[in-house]
Amino acid sequence: MAYEYAWVHVKFTIPLALLLSVVSYPILNRVHFFQVGSIVVVAFVATLPWDAYLIRRGVWTYPPDAVIGPCLLGVPAEELFFFVVQTYITSLVYILFSKPLLHVVYLQNQRNPPRWIKQAKLAGQLLLGALVLLGERLVRRGGSGTYLGLILVWAPVFALVTWTVAGRFILSLPWPATTLPILLPTVFLWLVDELALGRGTWSIESGTKLGLCLFGALDIEEATFFLVTNTLIVFGMATFDQYLAVIYAFPDLFPTTPRAPTPLMLVQSRLADPSTYDMERVDGIIDAVNWLERKSRSFYMASAAFSGRLRIDLILLYSFCRVADDLVDDHTSSEDEVCAWTSKLGRFLRLRYGQKDIPHDEIGTKDAVLPWPAEIDTYVNGNFPSFARPALKYLPTNLLPCGPLLSLLRGFEMDAKFDVSDQKGVTKFPIENEHALRRYAECVAGTVGELCVSLIIHHCEPDMDEDRMSKLKSAANTMGIALQYVNIARDVEVDAAVGRVYLPTTWLGFEGLTPEMVLKNPSRLAVERLRWLLLRKALELYSGARPAMQLLPSAARGPMIAAVETYMEIGRVMLERDAFQQNQGRATVPTARRLSTALRALVLC
Ligand SMILES: CC(C)=CCC/C(C)=C/CC/C(C)=C/CC/C(C)=C/[C@@H]1[C@@H](COP(=O)(O)OP(=O)(O)O)[C@]1(C)CC/C=C(\C)CC/C=C(\C)CCC=C(C)C
């Protein structure tokens, strides 16, 4: 059939490229476009002369009617398009598998890597070097080994370069993040190639190939070509991610990070001496990711939608909030012990902010982290357990107002009052009415919303006007309260098990209940009605704040909406009840529903 080669693209490669574009669109950002575009250009420039040479050597030929006609250096347009579409497909598959990863975490082996990484990197270099030498021998000998030899003197050279530059980083990544983006497109292209060879769309001249087939009509040389070129693409994408990770991880090396790091920054990242990396900061970020992964599926999944230094700072903020909450509120502390923790945290914050709240217009003037003076180091080491120290040290205080952080501690202090029995030995319940509930939620969650917005403004739109900033912070505060109401509604049983009742005492009274009765039986129908009342109030607050999320900078809008929506989904499934899944007393949202909620938020934001 005429134009057979073009039909191969129309039937196979273009549909897959379009499908991958649609699937990955919600998670792509400006950096990805720059990254994929760069890899495509490099692949095109590196492949064109090699391809032209093979055609001129007669290694492969095309029936005259199989190609449309336009050529560049004798390479048909369809072949040129193949360089682009293959690189595009493999790059998108790599992005889909690597987006959940925080690449900064995998810088940990840049200095003093484990023995197996050193050995594996050396083995890879030796293997690639041996392949180049083998290719040279095959080319020199000519004949049936020519095609394979020409592949091996070309692709492994580029692979050797990227492997030497990024081998440790690539080996540190979870193996599915690199092997699957290599194998899946390779198998797809093997099948396409098998069909094309079988139909005579293109053919490999018999005098230049070994005559061995991987399967069907797929020559071993063709199979090798797709395997090594997809390996090259993935190595190239991973190398790019390594440079980006260095830029995002070290504010002292890169004080500001534009939304798409410049080529100069990438070169500076490449030339940066790993001995200058603040590896203690990398360890602190790893620690924060572990806290997030361990403590909140909602925010852990949502964090993957963010990118760059904003993602790191949100995780560091989460880590501080989580550690502070766990330090203060471990459900067994007395009020004195709780207040001791909150006063230590308060003193830490005042030391960190230099005894005063940094005026807002000074916050975020630069990314370079505030110095960590010996005085604070001594105080933290002398007053906090080792597990808490990284969260305190790496809280991005240079980008955050101190006020909301101090209010967060006030909220934790309210938790402590649950554990206090008055003179008659009667446990007090501080959430006496709806006002106390709102005040508590505002302290522990409304403040967190404001802090998230501070980070978003700094990283995405530092010159935002005051009016819009004020609207965003007010809405974030309200949204935080909504999420906290969902949290309370979800955890009624869990909280009762540790002597906590966050449903207002006045609400309980309307149902003829007391907090003590709720502690005895938190699953009674009357409590269910109050849980529903709280969820409906959460949805009211959410509805009031949700429109303001459209004011968020575009780079963070989708991810932030995804974070909020996946959390609010907990409340929605509770209201639906049929999708409600009790799991050790806590409602959980089925992962598929959580994912679809996040994707819908990212697409429709
Ligand atoms: C994507 C990402 C990593 C975001 C980080 C968000 C963040 C810093 C969360 C900190 C939450 C936290 C541990 C606060 C301490 C007090 C507390 C426990 C609050 C409750 C959170 C639940 O956290 P948990 O770890 O228990 O999670 P699970 O329930 O186990 O899943 C709260 C429910 C409050 C959380 C409140 C927020 C995160 C603020 C929400 C507001 C925004 C995201 C701003 C939205 C912006 C606009 C303009 C409306």
Q: What is the pLDDT of residues 102-148, one digit of tens each?
A: 999 999 988 888 999 999 999 999 999 999 999 999 999 988 899 99
Q: Which atom of ligand 1 is nearest to the CA of 548?
A: 48
In testing the pocket of ligand 1, which one of 487, 498, 573 has its CB within 8 Å of the most ligand atoms?
Answer: 487
Beta strands of 139-217 (E only): which ranges? 203-204, 213-215
Based on the fold, state whether residues 176 and 318 are members of the same structural domain: no
Distance between CA 258 and CA 555 in Å, rounded?
A: 12
Q: Tokens representing 312?
A: 């790191």
| pTM assigned to the model | 0.91
Nearest CA to ligand 1 atom 16: 444
The domain of 410 spans: 278-416
Instruction: Note whether 169 and 243 are within 8 A (CB).
Output: no
For the CA of 317, the closest atom of ligand 1 is 8
How far apart are the CA of 270 and the centre of ligand 1, in A? 35
> Which stretches does DSSP call E strand in 25-80?
60-61, 71-72, 75-76
Nearest to 277 by CA among 112, 140, 405: 112
Say if residue 182 is in the same domain as residue 316.
no
Which one of 222, 246, 276 terminates a domain?
276
> Are residues 106 and 146 part of one domain?
yes
Q: What per-residue confidence (pLDDT) applies to 337?
A: 77
Closest by alpha carbon to 449, among 361, 534, 542?
542
Determine the pLDDT at residue 67: 83
Q: What are phi and psi of 272, to 5 degrees?
A: -60, 135
Q: Is the dihedral of CA 152, 153, 158, 160 positive or negative?
A: positive
Model confidence band, residue 370 (pLDDT cutoffs 50, 70, 90) = low
Using CB atoms within 10 Å of the CB of residue 58, give its burial: 0 to 12 exposed, 13 to 18 middle, 19+ buried.
exposed
Residue 440's alpha-carbon distances to 12, 22, 499, 568, in angstroms, are 57, 42, 17, 19
Beta bridge partners of 283: none
Ligand 1 pocket, residue 476 CB under 6 Å: yes
CA of 30 to the centre of ligand 1 (A): 26
CA of 480 to the centre of ligand 1 (A): 7
481 lines ligand 1 (CB under 6 A): no
Where is the domain boundary, 276, 309, 328?
Answer: 276
On whether residue 423 sits in a domain, the answer given is no
Indicate whether residue 553 lines ligand 1 (CB < 6 A). Answer: no
Residue 315 in contact with ligand 1 by CB distance below 6 A: yes
Cα distance between the two ends of the chain: 45
> Could you tell me if the CB of 105 is within 6 A of ligand 1?
no
The pLDDT tens digits of the residues spanning 230-278 come to 999 999 999 999 999 999 999 989 988 877 888 899 999 989 888 888 9
Are residues 150 and 54 in contact, defined by beta-carbon separation less than 8 angstroms? yes
Residue with CA at minimum distance from ligand 1 atom 1: 303
Q: Answer with the residue of higher pLDDT: 367 or 13.
A: 13
pLDDT > 70? residue 460: yes
**Residue 422 resides in a domain:** no
Query: Can you give the three-state secondary structure of 407-426, one letter per residue?
Result: HHHHHHHHHHHHHCECCCCC
295 assigned to some structural domain: yes
CATH number at residue 456: 1.10.600.10
pLDDT of residue 215 exceeding 90 = no
The Cα–Cα gap between 529 and 489 comes to 11
3-state DSSP call for residue 55?
Answer: helix
85 in the same domain as 29: yes
The angle formed by the CA atoms of residues 373, 378 and 384, to the nearest 5 degrees, is 120
Q: Which of 391, 416, 441 is the last residue of a domain?
A: 416
Same domain (yes/no): 434, 409: no
**Are residues 309 and 253 located together in one domain of the fold?**
no
482 CB less than 6 Å from ligand 1?
Answer: no
Burial class (CB in 10 A: 0-12, 13-18, 19+), 332: exposed
Residue 421 maps to a domain = no
The yes/no answer to whether this complex scores an ipTM above 0.85 is yes
Number of domains, the chain: 3
- Distance (angstroms) between ligand 1 centre and the Cα of 411 equals 14
Rounded Cα distance between 418 and 421, Å, is: 8
The residue contributing the CA closest to ligand 1 atom 33 is: 484
Say how far residue 132 (Cα) sits from the centre of its chain.
Answer: 37
Distance 448 CA to ligand 1 centre (A): 6
Query: Within 10 Å of residue 46's Cβ, how many Cβ atoms?
Result: 18
What's the 428 CA to ligand 1 centre distance in angstroms? 27
487 and 456 part of one domain: yes
Q: What is the pLDDT of residues 416-458, one digit of tens each?
A: 777 655 555 555 788 999 999 999 999 999 999 999 999 999 9
What element of type H or E holds 122?
A: helix 115-141
Atom of ligand 1 nearest to the CA of 567: 31
> In terms of Cα–Cα distance, which of 92, 79, 104 is closest to 37?
92
Please, which residues bridge with residue 72 across strands?
75
What percent of the chain is predicted at pLDDT more than 90?
65
Q: Is the CB of 563 under 6 A from ligand 1?
A: yes
CA 483 vs CA 490, 521, 570: distances in Å: 10, 25, 9
Ligand 1, atom 49: nearest CA belongs to which residue? 476
Give the number of the atom of ligand 1 that is nearest the alpha carbon of residue 315: 3
Residues 150, 221 share a domain: yes
Instruction: Please give the distance, rounded to the nearest whole angstrom, from the Cα atom of residue 349 to the centre of ligand 1.
Output: 20
Cα 244 → chain centroid: 13
The pLDDT score that the predictor gives to residue 513 is 95
Q: From CA 542, how far away is CA 446, in angstroms rounded?
A: 12
Q: Find the 114 Cα to ligand 1 centroid distance in Å.
A: 36
Is residue 240 within 8 A of residue 35, CB to CB? The reply is yes
d(CA 190, CA 173): 26
| Averaged pLDDT, 283-294 | 95
Kindly report the protein residue whose alpha carbon is nearest to atom 23 of ligand 1: 296
Q: What is the structure's pLDDT at 333? A: 66
Q: How far is the CA of 158 from the centre of ligand 1 (A)?
A: 45
Distance of CA 450 from the midpoint of ligand 1 (Å): 11
Element (H, E) at 204: strand 203-204
Of 241, 234, 179, 233, residue with least CA distance to 47: 233
Looking at the structure, tell me whether residues 481 and 408 fall in a common domain: no
Residue-averaged pLDDT of the chain: 89
- CB of 545 closer than 8 Å to CB of 482: yes
**In angstroms, what is the span from residue 95 Cα to ligand 1's centroid?**
27
Q: Is the beta carbon of 357 within 6 A of some atom in ligand 1?
A: no
- Looking at the fold, whether 237 and 382 belong to one and the same domain comes out as no
Nearest CA to ligand 1 atom 27: 296
Distance 322 CA to ligand 1 centre (A): 9
pLDDT tens readout for residues 41-54 = 999 999 999 999 98
| Shared-domain flag, residues 490 and 531 | yes
424 located within any domain? no
Q: Is 564 in the pocket of ligand 1 (CB under 6 A)?
A: yes
Confidence at residue 119, expressed as pLDDT on a 0 to 100 scale: 96
pLDDT above 80 (res 310) = yes
Same domain, 287 and 362: yes
Closest C-alpha to 98, from 207, 242, 216: 242
pLDDT in tens, 55-97: 888 888 777 788 888 889 999 999 999 999 999 999 999 999 9
Residue 226 lies in a domain: yes
